[in-house]
Amino acid sequence: MDWGIELWDQFDSVDKYLQHGFDFGEKYGKFIKERCQIEQEYAGRLRKLVKSYQPKKKDEDRSMFSTHKAFQSQLSELNDIAGQHEIVAETMVLNILKSCQTFINDQKLEKKKLYQEGKSMQIALDKVEQNVDHTKKKFEKEWKDCERLQANHEKLDADTNVTKADVERAKYAWNAKKDVVEHCKQDYAAALETFNAEQNAHYNTKMPQVFQKYREADEKRIQKLRELMVEYATIDKKVKPIIQKCLDGMEQAGNAIDSKLDAALVVEKLKSGFLIPSDKEFEDYSAPQRLKPHNEEVTESLRNSMNFGRGQKKAFGWIFGPKKKIPGWPAHPATPVKLYSTDTSVFFTASLCHVHVCRIPKTASLPVIPTTRLVANVLNIYVPEAADYSHLPPEQRKKKLQRHMDDLNKEITKQEDERKAIMKMHGVYTSNPALGDPSSLEGERKIVDGKIDKLRTDLQQYENWYKEAFGSLQSSPARNSAHYSTAVKSEPLATAPQSQNKLMQRDQSFDNDFDEEPESIGTCTALYDFDATSEGALSMKCGQVFSLLEVDNGDGWTRVMYNDSDGYVPSSYIEIKYNT
């Protein structure tokens, strides 16, 4: 249907309709903008959620379990899903929002021109019509004046008392007016003819062209909205298969959970390599002068004071995430119980909160502890970490040493590859000096050679420790335990350089075995930012307020708590306020 014919008298209504159409286009663009904002916010919150549940460094030992691996896989897939939502938002902004805004703005300008064109035509036609009305009114006025003059002439001509001269003057005026009326009539006829021609051209030629442009603009608007709406669905449709793959990956990760495998990993992780204790011998207390051996008193006292029962969480603390403690920090002392071992010149003092290690003369007469396993358990938990992993049970020590050697071998291979690359570049520079100076690579080569030498020295050291541990493990079980105790006691302070001095001066606390809530003795405010890099330390930001748990004992560290996490921060980085 032709808008110029059907809607010839609805120019303003057609213009208003098109304006409503453009308003709808702007409304759709606003909808796309808000949808993109929602997608961006949703993706951002998903990424934040994934980041908050990423495994911490302290949780590395747990990542071997199938449940943890499945969860990490799900987090990875969820992060990919977040990326797809970001792609949806970005694509909609580029392909829909910007295109819609540009199109609507251009069409608004086009509509404005069409409206001005139509209005100018209407104004021109109105002027022609006004001219017709003017000539018509003038013709009407002159004709009435002519009729009045004619009546006056006829009246004078019929009156016998009027002179002939008066009659002639009246007749002359009437004839003159008739000439004026004739001119007005011609002007009116010409104006009317012009108006009819203009009106015919206006409604049959000019305005239909304007209406056609209006219709074309409206059709373009409708077609553009159609394309944008189809594109909207297409963008969503494109990411659905990828999201479905992510969901399939989550499902596969869940199906990969293996309870038997996790149970085997628990054994592998916790197995000490010690033998189950043998049967106890019958002690006849009715025999004359039968005294309870000192070592039994020690064993019972140690077992009672340390309460190594089934209900303790220590054995699985590494799974559930026990509280952190920096080795060497003090705890409240309890009554010590002394343990002696005759196979080395080492004497141990165990209490509810400490284990002390010190040297004693070999000539001293010391009672023998019948079970090495108890000592090993104590050392396994409370002896500071040694470089050769001698603080661990034999089975765990061997695994740690093997893992460390594998890491060293990988690093050596990496450095050797780097050295080969340097030598290859050296050869290229030698053959073509224009590319570079061969001597400039000498410094890099020496650095890499130094790294390789150091790594090989470390590898040799760990191989020696491994051979020592492996030899002990391959022999009788009793020898395994004896060798383990000897290895631990012979190098009790082979610790990391950062904590070595502290461990010589302080007793090791095992407050991790208990769930008592530490009591706050005040508050402290962080003066500077601090990033924790060692086990047991607590990161802080300037201005954070912490609960004060323990004061500085002269080593430069203070124990604090923030939310549910406690740890140690530099004393010089905080301002303390004690409770009154």
**To which residue do tokens 């149970």 refer?**
263
pLDDT over 70 at 309, yes or no: no
> 327: closest CA among 530, 485, 531, 537?
537
Strand 574-578 and strand 522-526: the pairing is antiparallel
411-425 pLDDT tens trace? 999 999 988 888 888
Residues spanned by the domain of 216: 18-260
In a domain, 183, yes or no: yes
Looking at the DSSP bridge assignments, the partners of residue 546 are 524
Please tell me whether residues 27 and 136 are part of one structural domain: yes
pTM: predicted TM-score of the whole model, two decimal places: 0.50
> 123: closest CA among 11, 286, 36?
11
Domain count, the chain: 4
CATH of the domain at 164: 1.20.1270.60
How many Å from the N-terminal Cα to the C-terminal Cα in the chain?
A: 91
Task: Return the SS3 of 580.
Answer: coil
Please tell me whether residues 303 and 238 are part of one structural domain: no
CA–CA distance, 167 with 159 (Å, rounded to integer): 9
> 344: closest CA among 469, 493, 485, 504?
485
CATH of the domain at 524: 2.30.30.40
In a domain, 210, yes or no: yes
Beta strands across the sheet bearing 346-350: 337-341, 346-350, 355-359
Instruction: Over range 171-180, report the average pLDDT.
Output: 85
Angle in degrees, 0-180, between the axes of helices 11-52 and 66-92, rounded to the nearest 10: 160
Please tell me whether residues 211 and 107 are part of one structural domain: yes
pLDDT over 90 at 93, yes or no: yes
Burial 343-380 (b: 16+ CB within 10 A, else e): ebebbbebbbbbbebeeeeeeeebbebeebbbbbbbbb
So what's the pLDDT on residue 282?
A: 84
Q: Which of 323, 354, 382 is the last residue of a domain?
A: 382
Looking at the DSSP bridge assignments, the partners of residue 578 are 522
More confident residue, 500 or 114: 114
CA–CA distance, 341 with 163 (Å, rounded to integer): 171
In a domain, 285, yes or no: no
Q: What are the residues whose beta carbons fall under 8 Å from the beta carbon of 554, sequence distance 6 or more?
A: none
**To which residue do tokens 């499902």 refer?**
251
The most distant pair of C-alpha atoms in the chain lies apart, rounded to whole Å, by 190
Please tell me whether residues 340 and 407 are part of one structural domain: no
So what's the pLDDT on residue 303?
A: 46
Please tell me whether residues 378 and 399 are part of one structural domain: no
pLDDT over 70 at 463, yes or no: yes
CATH of the domain at 410: 1.10.287
Banded model confidence at residue 396, pLDDT cuts 50, 70, 90? confident
In a domain, 512, yes or no: no
Please tell me whether residues 233 and 311 are part of one structural domain: no
So what's the pLDDT on residue 551?
A: 84
In a domain, 71, yes or no: yes
Both structure tokens of 278: 């043998």
CA–CA distance, 491 with 469 (Å, rounded to integer): 14
Both structure tokens of 118: 């139509």
505-564 pLDDT tens trace? 444 443 444 445 567 888 999 988 888 877 778 888 888 999 988 888 777 788 899 888
Q: Which of 260, 276, 309 is the last residue of a domain?
A: 260
So what's the pLDDT on residue 46?
A: 95
Banded model confidence at residue 74, pLDDT cuts 50, 70, 90? very high
In a domain, 312, yes or no: yes
Please tell me whether residues 252 and 301 are part of one structural domain: no
Please tell me whether residues 135 and 79 are part of one structural domain: yes
Please tell me whether residues 376 and 430 are part of one structural domain: no
CA–CA distance, 422 with 412 (Å, rounded to integer): 15
CA–CA distance, 508 with 510 (Å, rounded to integer): 7
Please tell me whether residues 165 and 70 are part of one structural domain: yes
In a domain, 275, yes or no: no
Please tell me whether residues 414 and 304 are part of one structural domain: no
In a domain, 237, yes or no: yes
Please tell me whether residues 434 and 548 are part of one structural domain: no
pLDDT over 70 at 316, yes or no: no
Q: Which of 209, 235, 260 is the last residue of a domain?
A: 260
